[in-house]
Amino acid sequence: MLVFYLFMIRPQAKKAKMQKTFINDIKKGDKIVTIAGIHGTVNRVNDDNTTIQLETNPGSYIKVEKSAISMEWTQGINKPVASTAPEIK
């Protein structure tokens, strides 16, 4: 039972807590990706605090549930790109 808890339940609960924190910390200007693969920038967090207004193109907005935002994909696009150029000494 202890092994099952350590390898299955605990990591899943930890990931769920990270997802909840990530969703609550979304603010205007963040670049995100939805689970459907839609890329955009948060234009506004709506008053109900469960939806956002996502700008996909300049002047094009869609309303998206916060629960539809992919934490993994969003973190992937926001990582700094490593330089592939060789160092010059």
Residue 69's beta-bridge partner residues?
Answer: 34
Give yes or no for a contact between 9 and 1, defined as CB atoms under 8 angstroms apart: no
* Count of CB atoms situated within 10 Å of the CB of 77: 11
Please report the pLDDT score of residue 55 as a whole number: 95
Please report the pLDDT score of residue 43 as a whole number: 94
Token pair 């670049």 in the structure block, residue: 31
Structure tokens at 37: 């693969």
Mean pLDDT of 68-83: 80
Please report the pLDDT score of residue 75 as a whole number: 85
Domains of the chain (ranges, CATH numbers): 23-78 (2.30.30.140)
Please report the pLDDT score of residue 29 as a whole number: 93
| 79: pLDDT strictly greater than 70 | yes
* Count of CB atoms situated within 10 Å of the CB of 33: 19
Give yes or no for a contact between 65 and 21, defined as CB atoms under 8 angstroms apart: no
pLDDT (tens digit, 9 = 90+) per residue, 19-59?
A: 999 999 999 999 999 999 999 999 999 888 889 999 999 99
